[in-house]
Amino acid sequence: MGLFDDVEGIVKRQMVLFFVIDTSGSMQGSKIGAVNTAVREVLPELKDAGGSDIDLKVACLTFSSGCQWMYPTPISSESFQWNQVEADGVTDLGEACRELSKKLSKNEFLKAPSGSVAPAIFLMSDGEPTDDFESGLAQLKQNNWFKYAIKVAVAIGDDANKDVLAKFTGNIEAVVTVHTPEALKKWIRKVSITSSQIGSKSQPVSNGQIQSKQDAMIDEIKDIQQSDPDLDSTSTSGDDW
């Protein structure tokens, strides 16, 4: 290791990209298969997404009957080894919210010697909660890291409760709907990379105002939908699950 390698390691700030994935029984088959394939393939592309001054790390929380972390701590995107996830059980999204709130802390997943920037949280679900989601979300919304995080949700199929997902993100415009495995894979890639890029940079001042990173992400979602109509949540082609 050279002299400047050590310096770079000290000055880099940490950013964590959270994948929060529904692994309930209704996700069996092509849905969970598309998630496994897409996340595994996008991880190598995240290596430089945060820029030269950001140490981008990844954490994955799955939820069904209960919830669990894939690893006990966030792992750098270039070292993260994706473990195949399986689908079974119910949809304990409320418990997942409470668990996420615990880890969104400088004493837990956001501790770094040089500090952390606000995380990006990417939720994927195909149904609706089977537990007390409202109380879990209420607890999560008290967390300041969550307040400033970039939040995007993907509704997998028409059975997904988009109102619930909008409550999580705080804005229906941060919720996209996918009708095919291919569209799901594309959105996972685009959201993962784009949220990492936005989250790692300071937002420019426009008309005396600094645009929030969440608003910047919503603008990017709109641009993506316009540039690739096949990904548009208003597709009338029907589900292909």
Structural domain contains residue 237? no
What pLDDT is attached to residue 208? Answer: 53
Q: Which residues contact 26 (CB under 8 A, 6 or more apart)?
A: 87, 91, 126, 127, 159
Q: Report helix, strand or coil for 179.
A: coil
What pLDDT is attached to residue 50? Answer: 79
Give the residue from 41, 89, 51 showing the smallest Cα distance to 67: 89
What pLDDT is attached to residue 238? Answer: 61
Query: Position of tokens 């540039």?
Result: 227
Distance CA 132, CA 207 (A): 42
Structural domain contains residue 133? yes
Structural domain contains residue 238? no
Question: Domains in the chain: how many in total?
Answer: 1
What pLDDT is attached to residue 9? Answer: 44
Structural domain contains residue 116? yes
DSSP secondary structure string, 7-37?
HHHHHPEEEEEEEEEE-SGGGTTHHHHHHHH
Structural domain contains residue 64? yes
Strand 75-76 and strand 175-178: the pairing is unpaired
Q: What is the CA radius of gyration of the chain?
A: 17
Confirm if 218 and 169 have CB atoms less than 8 A apart: no
Query: Position of tokens 């589900």?
Result: 239
Helix (H) or strand (E) holding 222: helix 213-227
Structural domain contains residue 22? yes
CATH number at residue 64: 3.40.50.410
Structural domain contains residue 178? yes
Q: At what angle do helices 213-227 and 181-199 cross, to 10 degrees?
A: 140
Structural domain contains residue 97? yes
* Structural domain boundaries enclosing 112: 3-231
pLDDT tens by residue, the chain, 241 residues? 343 344 444 468 899 999 999 999 999 999 999 999 999 999 999 988 878 788 999 999 999 999 999 999 999 998 999 999 999 999 999 999 999 999 999 999 999 888 889 999 999 999 999 999 999 999 999 999 999 999 999 999 989 999 999 999 999 999 999 999 999 999 999 999 999 999 988 755 455 555 799 999 999 999 999 998 777 544 445 667 7
Confirm if 42 and 192 have CB atoms less than 8 A apart: yes
What pLDDT is attached to residue 48? Answer: 83
What pLDDT is attached to residue 1? Answer: 39
> What are the tokens at 74?
């966030």
